[in-house]
A and B are shown apart, each in its own frame.
Chain A
Amino acid sequence: MKRIATTLVVLGLTAGAALAEVAPNDVAFEDGAIEQSLSGTAGNAENGRKIATTKSLGNCVSCHAAEAYADVPFHGEIGPMLDGAGSRWEEAQLRGIVANAKMIFEGTMMPAFYKTNGYIRPGNAYTGKAAEGDLPPLLSAQQVEDVVAYLMTLKDE
């Protein structure tokens, strides 16, 4: 029953978007927000939680604490707590924050997760060596959508 409902929502959202992925350079920001889904496929909140709390993926936990993922050890305290983010922000704003937080918070320390160029001495991941060619974004279009879907579940009680 629950499954069917989710599928219907997915179909509803993607109708017309034709599953087109928006490339990092083509993202349209409006006041720091991104209206259009980056992947054309609805995000998976459960997967988003994993991305946010896994070091090799989004690693949001290294800077943000949240009671919502209290089971994960060692929360950073660089950025605000993420509990309630889904009440404070619209989905389009959260998409913008994750894709490139600098578009909303000028000069913020938060890295841009959906961007491929404009870096100073970009490296090949954590090797310390120069990057060869264009870097892939830190998160894929679908991973951004998944993280946004997860953030939308973090509502104020």
Chain B
Amino acid sequence: MSTRTVEYSVSSNPEMGMDGRPVASPVFPVGMEPEFQGEHMLINIGPQHPATHGVLRLVLELDGETVVKCTPHIGYLHSSFEKLGEYRGWNQIIPLTDRMDYLAPLIYNVAYAAAVEKLMGVEITERCKVVRVMLMELDRIFSHLIWIGTTAIDIGAFTVFLWTFEERERIYNLHEALTGARITTSATRIGGMMADLPPGFTEAVQHFVDTLPKTLDEVEALLTNNNLWVGRNQDIAVIGAEDAVNCGLTGPNLRASGVPYDVRKDRPYYDYDTYDFDVPVAEHGDCYDRYLVRMEEMRQSLRILQQTLDRLPDGPINVDDPRLILPSKTDCMSDMESMIHHFKVVMEGIPAPAGESWFSVESSKGELGMYVVSDGGSKPVRWRVRGPSFVNISTLAKLVEGHLVADVIAANASLDIVLGEIDR
């Protein structure tokens, strides 16, 4: 083994010393190429990448390590949902909605069912309203938990990922108890739900509401005042209020920039105006504020969950309308009328009146808009999903200009995107 001496020269990039004054430190060995002058480097992140939260492709033009320009490319998960929707009856579209935002499937199920019910003029039962609110808030927490887990793991904190996934397993159990599936729930139907809450469900939700705050406290203890977390997230990817609105941002991303717009408060649905909860709004619009807003949103969702548990009324879960709801199997097999209703609902579908409807829901990622257009038939003419992540990711190019490569990952994570919703 030969020995080799390398002479170092002091680079032009000083480091910060212990006394807060810059210290020139040896960085490059002598004889190395001088640094590139004025030529930018192109780096491609994705579409297959651990930290892009799905199949997102980012082309970064770098000046050293600083991002000069970022171009997001999407479409790597385009699954033709909207086209498929035109070939399916109203109830048959519900399984498609799970697969768009697979991190909060019940929110999509409810939003779509609500849009079609609005079109048809169906008024769901009180019990169904409260159950849907309960499930939506549960999935909001579900989505924020995976958000904090994956964001932390992108920044480097692995433990949080394991803790939040364990909490999510409890919600998976709830999903499974209700619908039989962990992720792809398809729990709603036009006019009601696929099934009523099973026995023991409300107790399990109550237990969840009682015990989740402890985990949230542990996560916050690890992250909120952590030097590294603050350093990686504060003043990164700042967007002001006006820009945010003009860019179409909604949800926690918008509220972190100071705009108090929440669909639950501004255009309430399902009696959200009767629930007692707050909407967290921050002021700086950086990654750290988005983190704070989402952590607080989880706690507010727990508040709403507690209220739904307290006010859950008895009664039927489905509307009593044979044109919409499948009769029970026992009825079908014993009663001619029920059998014919069953036949017609399954074979011909539910004809909706001609017209269109837009239903906005506050999803965990932002404002989800479900737009259905009908011509009087049993399949939609057009089914449009205004996915919040599609708009959120379009702002990434603007957010990361001038930041470092590592900040691109932090900014991308803080926007909370799900590619299924972006690419549809």
Do A and B form a real pair? Answer: no
